[in-house]
Amino acid sequence: MFSCIFCRVVSGELPSYKLYEDDRVIAFLDIFPAVKGHILVVPKTHAENMFASDPEDIKATMKVVLDLAPKLEKALGADGINITINKGEAAGQSVFHTHVHILPRFKDDGKSLWGPMDSKPDLAELYEELKQNL
């Protein structure tokens, strides 16, 4: 567990630009920001991803996200905010310790998170499949 980068940030073994901390949660600047003001909100207790975390940790983390995101938006004069969680390598997760990204967005920042699929699935068919399985 202690080779986990975010556990090392939590313990203070690795330095970070810490913006918030309480007994369950810490928030700090992302070291490779995708946009200006990109921050990470992280439950202190190690779990591989949000589904493996204690729901109380997720609750505490999201409370901090809800508090910090609008403050960050205002502080930087941003035009909007993305809040993202990447779960699994296929979704872009590279650090396997639960975390939430807060990304302030600026009208002309040139970032595009996603666009429509090249080939759209049959939505009626997909809907039936999902209704059976969710």
Q: Which of 1, 89, 94, 134 is in the footprint of ligand 5GP by CB under 6 A? A: 94
The DSSP code sequence of 5-61 is: HHHHHHHTSS---EEEE-SSEEEEE-SS-SSTT-EEEEESS--SSTTTS-HHHHHHH
Using CB under 6 A as the binding rule, whether residue 82 contacts ligand 5GP is answered as no
Neighbours of 23 (CB within 10 A): 6
Q: Which stretch binds Zn ion (CB under 5 A): 11-19, 24-32, 89-97, 109-117?
A: 89-97
Task: Report which residue type is found at 106.
Answer: F
Using CB under 5 A as the binding rule, whether residue 7 contacts Zn ion is answered as yes
Name the minimum Å distance from CB 102 to Zn ion.
19
Mark whether 101 is an active-site residue: no
Site residues (CB under 6 A) for ligand 5GP, limited to 1-40: 5, 9, 14, 16, 28-32, 40
Residues with catalytic annotation? Answer: 99
